[in-house]
Amino acid sequence: MEKITFGPMPYLSIMPALLVGANVHGKPNYMTAAWATPACMVPPMVCVAINKERYTGKGIDENKTFSLNVPSVHQLVPADHCGLVSGAREDKSGVFTSFYGTLKTAPLAEECPVNIECRLFKTVDCGSHRLYIGEIAQIHADRACLTDGKPDSAKINPILYAQSTYYDLGKEVGRAFSAGKRYGQK
């Protein structure tokens, strides 16, 4: 297969579109982000990369708490809106209905089917971005998005992101820790 090189650029396949929630000066604020991942199993942690100029970062620095909210395709317009305007210029506290859970200072967007409350564990300065690593304090999900008591990706209908384009989730193509058992078989 012929390979082409691109030089270094911030690229990594498909990522989940998310809303990072933080209280800034006591008001809920949400920003669109897609650079996030689970970071640890025990204790459960996630991390999210945020440009140092972002208003939301100030709220995380201030409260040491934040949230990651998983919007569904139904929230595409308000979710993308939160990436177009800064909370420094426009009050975004009314874009979603906020509620609070265990942490009290990490606003959660009720309209999003999944809401993850995080307590800041560590901040890593990477250059233009800070990587905020947070320990998960609690996860909230819409009852309507569960199957057998667990979050159901098909019902959540999340927004996926790659290179300025949003996608929805396709079909199931295999089971993890299982499909590989066919390796080496004729």
The contacts of residue 89 (CB under 8 Å, 6+ apart) are: none
176 binds a second copy (CB under 8 A): yes
User: Where does 25-90 show beta strands of DSSP type E?
Assistant: 27-33, 36-40, 45-51, 65-70
Min dist. Cβ of residue 126 to a second copy (A): 4
CB of 142 closer than 8 Å to CB of 158: no
Question: Contact region for a second copy (CB under 8 A) — 20-28, 44-52, 53-61?
Answer: 44-52
Cα distance between the two ends of the chain: 24
Q: Where in 73-132 is the site for a second copy (CB under 8 A)?
A: 73, 76-84, 95, 99, 101, 110-111, 114-116, 121-122, 124, 126-129, 131
Q: Where in 153-172 is the site for a second copy (CB under 8 A)?
A: 153, 156, 158-172
Residue with structure tokens 């939160």?
A: 82
Min dist. Cβ of residue 28 to a second copy (A): 16
Closer by beta carbon to a second copy, 24 or else 82: 82
Whether the bond between 43 and the residue before it is cis, its omega within 30 degrees of 0, is yes
CB of 70 closer than 8 Å to CB of 156: yes
What Cα–Cα distance (Å) separates residue 137 from each residue in 43, 65, 110?
10, 10, 17
175 binds a second copy (CB under 8 A): yes
Q: Which of 25, 26, 51, 88 binds a second copy (CB under 8 A)?
A: 51
Local structure of 23: helix, strand or coil:
strand
Q: Which of 26, 43, 53, 91 binds a second copy (CB under 8 A)?
A: 43
CA atoms within 13 A on the CB side of 152: 10
Closer by beta carbon to a second copy, 26 or else 38: 38
37 binds a second copy (CB under 8 A): yes
Closer by beta carbon to a second copy, 26 or else 56: 56
The interface mask with a second copy, positions 3-32, x = CB under 8 A, is xxxxxxxxxxxxxxxx-------------x
Min dist. Cβ of residue 62 to a second copy (A): 22
